[in-house]
């Protein structure tokens, strides 16, 4: 089996999708970080030592079935700093929500401009240079679709499928982070991973 896998990799038939996972797709998913650059630059200038990461639904626009009319950015940082970040971004004229609950979802969605949602960071988040990696985004988006009611289950599945049908993504990264977010084997997200990525 290992010899076959090595041969298939050498011949360009299969491609690595993370430790022990392989894909027939040659193209690795590349995440556009342009939509979150402004938020990252703002926070880095004001809080140069702060550990944080950001992602936005705008980064996934090309993979939605229905083109979204509003975007939601998520900033993850240590809980103790969220109030300070909230005050700073509010002063900068941003529409910001501090770790809102499900009950606050209607207030979040009824904002015309881009909304920034602050959340406590999660240990071992897949991040790079202050931006969330696609594995983290797909798991967080799955959670936020319910918590913030920013899209429905069907739209989430389309996004997931549109990405995984065309690109190689790091499956072990998704699985590991899914466990960090307490989404266990019986979750619909795990079923999606099983169907689309095995």
Residues 24-55 pLDDT 10s: 444 567 899 999 999 999 999 999 999 999 99
Asked whether residue 189 is assigned to any structural domain, the reply reads yes
Confidence of residue 81 (pLDDT cuts 50, 70, 90): very high
> Are the beta carbons of 121 and 51 closer than 8 angstroms?
yes
Neighbours of 111 (CB within 10 A): 13
Is residue 71 included in any domain, yes or no? yes
Highest mean pLDDT among 56-70, 82-96, 160-174: 82-96
In a domain, 81, yes or no: yes
What is this structure's pTM? 0.83
Backbone angles phi, psi at 185, to 5 degrees: -60, -30
Poorest-confidence range of 2-16, 26-40, 146-160, 179-193?
A: 2-16
Q: Does a structural domain hold residue 152?
A: yes
Q: Which of 101, 197, 109 is nearest to 152 (CA)?
A: 109
Contacts of 179 (CB under 8 A, 6+ apart): none
Burial 129-168 (b: 16+ CB within 10 A, else e): ebbbbbbbbbbbbbebbebbebbeeebbbbbbeebbeebb
In a domain, 14, yes or no: no
Q: Is residue 12 part of a domain?
A: no
Segments forming the whole domain that contains residue 123: 27-197
Angle between helices 37-46 and 82-91 (to 10 degrees): 110
In a domain, 16, yes or no: no
Q: How many domains does the chain have?
A: 1
The strand pairing partners of 48, in sequence order, are none
Q: For 34-123, where are the E strands, in sequence order?
A: 52-56, 72-77, 95-98, 115-120
Query: In 3-state terms, what secondary structure has residue 121?
Result: coil
Is 13 domain-assigned? Answer: no
pLDDT at 36: 96
Long-range contacts of 174-178 (CB under 8 A, 24+ apart): 174/135, 174/138, 174/139, 176/124, 176/126, 177/122, 177/124, 177/125, 177/126, 177/135, 177/136, 177/139, 178/139
């Amino acid at each position: 089996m290992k010899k076959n896998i090595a041969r298939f990799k050498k011949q360009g038939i299969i491609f690595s999708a993370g430790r022990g996972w392989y894909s027939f797709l040659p193209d690795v998913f590349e995440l556009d970080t342009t939509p979150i650059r402004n938020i990252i630059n703002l926070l880095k200038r004001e809080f140069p030592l702060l550990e944080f990461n950001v992602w936005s639904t705008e980064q996934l626009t090309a993979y939605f079935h229905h083109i979204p009319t509003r975007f939601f950015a998520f900033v993850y940082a240590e809980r103790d700093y969220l109030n300070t970040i909230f005050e700073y971004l509010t002063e900068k004229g941003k529409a910001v929500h501090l770790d809102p609950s499900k009950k606050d979802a209607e207030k979040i969605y009824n904002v015309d401009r881009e909304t920034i949602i602050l959340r406590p960071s999660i240990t071992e988040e897949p991040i790079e240079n202050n931006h969330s990696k696609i594995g983290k985004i797909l798991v967080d988006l799955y959670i936020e679709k319910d918590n913030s009611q920013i899209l429905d289950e069907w739209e989430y599945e389309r996004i997931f499928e549109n990405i995984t049908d065309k690109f190689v993504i790091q499956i072990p990264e998704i699985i590991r982070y899914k466990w960090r977010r307490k989404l266990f084997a019986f979750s619909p997200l795990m079923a999606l991973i099983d169907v689309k990525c095995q």
